[in-house]
């Protein structure tokens, strides 16, 4: 990982794309945080390494996960929930770095959501072939707060649907540094990630890292 992590690539796409009422895609928004974001991410992973969790039905997820903040999202045979303790270490999750909080807050403002103060950041690691099926983020106690999702590394196809699972999702190619914000009327829209295509990112190798900020409690 180098200082050129967010090296600019010419792009004719608009910097702010409206995806739905309450949902926007902010192209390259995380670039201004490059000097603090990646070192902080490394420290979190050193304290709470990635792991592939199991769903309540016993299925091991293809995406590896970890968390930072006062609460972390976990899944096991007892269900989906937020917990202040990392079940692997028995210790609290790493604190959320200031750069993470600032990025999430500024992205939320750009998405027309003021005063966003996340207490949880779910960190997902995708390798080629990993995917996330369509789902809703509904384990949080506060649906008034938006979701802020930051993409790093390999490009991915983000699927953003509607309030019903059967609603046909639109597909968006997310590049390194892109941020998606959704809330309000779109807060409980179904979304997911198509199987990650193989490739080699110049700074992060054969992986995609997704930072998902939530107000869990």
Query: CA–CA separation, 191 vs 182, rounded Å?
Result: 11
Q: Structural domain tally of the chain?
A: 1
Residue 6, in any domain of the structure: no
The CA radius of gyration of the chain, in Å to the nearest whole number, is 16
Q: Which residue has the tokens 């050129």?
A: 4
| Closest to 184 (Cα-Cα) out of 127, 113, 135 | 113
Phi–psi pair at 144, nearest 5 degrees: -75, -25
Residue 168, in any domain of the structure: yes
- Taking the CA atoms of 149, 194, 141 and 82 in sequence, report the sign of the dihedral they define: negative
Residue 4, in any domain of the structure: no
Residue 200, in any domain of the structure: yes
Residue 7, in any domain of the structure: no
Largest CA distance in the chain: 47
* pLDDT tens for each residue of the chain, 217 residues long: 444 444 444 444 569 999 999 999 999 999 889 889 999 999 999 999 999 999 999 999 999 999 999 999 999 999 999 999 999 999 999 999 999 999 999 999 999 999 999 999 999 999 999 999 999 999 999 899 999 999 999 999 999 999 999 999 999 999 999 999 999 999 999 999 999 999 999 888 999 999 999 999 9
For 168, the token pair is 């046909």
| Closest to 30 (Cα-Cα) out of 149, 193, 186, 199 | 149
Residue 110, in any domain of the structure: yes
Under 8 Å CB-to-CB from 78, ≥6 apart: which residues? Answer: 56
- pTM score, two decimals? 0.92
Under 8 Å CB-to-CB from 40, ≥6 apart: which residues? Answer: 97, 99, 100
| Closest to 144 (Cα-Cα) out of 106, 182, 100 | 182
Residue 8, in any domain of the structure: no
Residue 9, in any domain of the structure: no
Domain with 21, as residue range(s), is 16-214
Q: Residue 198: give its domain's CATH number.
A: 2.60.120.590
Under 8 Å CB-to-CB from 41, ≥6 apart: which residues? Answer: 123, 152, 209, 211
């Amino acid at each position: 990982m180098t200082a050129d992590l967010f090296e600019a690539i010419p792009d004719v796409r608009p910097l702010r794309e409206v995806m739905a009422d309450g949902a926007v895609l902010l192209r390259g928004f995380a670039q201004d945080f490059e000097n603090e974001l990646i070192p902080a991410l490394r420290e979190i992973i050193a304290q709470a390494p990635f792991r592939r969790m199991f769903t309540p039905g016993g299925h091991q997820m293809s995406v590896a996960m970890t968390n930072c903040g006062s609460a972390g999202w976990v899944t096991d045979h007892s269900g989906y929930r937020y917990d202040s303790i990392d079940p692997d270490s028995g210790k609290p999750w790493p604190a959320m770095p200031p750069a993470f909080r600032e990025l999430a807050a500024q992205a939320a403002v750009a998405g027309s959501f003021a005063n966003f103060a996340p207490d949880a950041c779910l960190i997902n690691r995708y390798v080629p072939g990993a995917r996330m099926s369509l789902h809703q983020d509904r384990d949080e106690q506060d649906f008034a707060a938006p979701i802020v999702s930051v993409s790093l590394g390999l490009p991915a196809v983000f699927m953003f649907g509607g309030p019903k699972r059967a609603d046909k999702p639109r597909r968006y190619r997310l590049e390194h540094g892109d941020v998606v914000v959704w809330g309000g009327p779109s807060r409980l829209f179904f979304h997911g990630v198509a199987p990650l295509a193989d490739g080699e990112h110049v700074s992060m190798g054969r992986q995609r890292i997704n930072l998902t900020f939530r107000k869990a409690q």
